[in-house]
Amino acid sequence: MTFPPSATPPVTLLVTRTILPERYDQFRTWMQEGEDLAASFPGYLGSGVLAPPPGGNEFQMVYRFADERQLAAWANSPERQAWLRRGEGLVRTSRVRRAMGLETWFGAGQRPPRWKQAITIWIGYFPVSLIFAIFLAEPLGALPLFWRVLVSTALLTPVMVFGLIPLVSKVLRNWLDPEASRADSSENNGIRAS
């Protein structure tokens, strides 16, 4: 997708937080407050949370804004800074990075070639498509084609976007971008992660 010279692409802030397991319930409440706060700012396009598997303690938060300026207004706001301070006792570590467009799936380095992106998406899409066909094709078979496609895409898209593509991209990161630096950063362009 290309943007006219006057337009800027949406920007996504990806935050990884390792929590204190004994404070799980308080963390979930605090995290929801943060999503509600982000939603109250101009330019907010959406957010989401990828919870860890059972026994895990690393959460992925995704915040999407219309442009860099609006993301920065929220990220550096006194309201968000106060919210971050309230959560200091809940979070063990935090990492943050910014991404635009397909970078949100394929990492912070140089975007990989399209053929590598296509293979990565297919690796995520094939198994979820197969599982969907095995378990839901028959129950949805009685629906007209339009409704079958609507239901299947409504179910599969969030699974792909928020779950499988980030996971497959992480697993294949060395192949996707062999030159990328592996160093984690707790700061990104002046935005506080914790």
The per-residue pLDDT for range 8-37, each reduced to its tens digit, is 667 888 888 988 888 888 998 999 999 999
**Where along the chain do the CATH 3.30.70.100 domains lie?**
11-104+183-192
The predicted structure's pLDDT at residue 171? 84
| Joined tokens for residue 188 | 């990104």
Region 115-139: mean pLDDT is: 84
The predicted model scores a pTM of: 0.53
User: With b meaning 16 or more CB within 10 Å and e meaning fewer, what string describes 47-82?
Assistant: bebeeeeeeeeebbbbbbbbbbebbbebbeeeebee
| Of the candidate ranges 42-46, 49-53, 168-172, 189-193, the one whose mean pLDDT is the lowest | 189-193
| Of the candidate ranges 39-43, 84-88, 97-101, 157-161, the one whose mean pLDDT is the lowest | 97-101
Domain 11-104+183-192 annotated CATH 3.55.40.20: no
Checking if the pLDDT of 180 tops 60, the result is no
| Of the candidate ranges 6-20, 25-39, 129-143, 178-192, the one whose mean pLDDT is the lowest | 178-192
Mean pLDDT score across all residues of the chain: 78
Note every long-range contact of 73-78, with CB atoms under 8 Å and residues 24 or more positions apart, other chains counting: 73/41, 73/42, 73/43, 74/37, 74/38, 74/41, 74/43, 74/44, 75/13, 75/191, 75/192, 76/190, 76/191, 77/41
Banded model confidence at residue 181, pLDDT cuts 50, 70, 90:
very low
The predicted structure's pLDDT at residue 33? 93
The predicted structure's pLDDT at residue 34? 92
The predicted structure's pLDDT at residue 183? 36
Banded model confidence at residue 186, pLDDT cuts 50, 70, 90:
very low
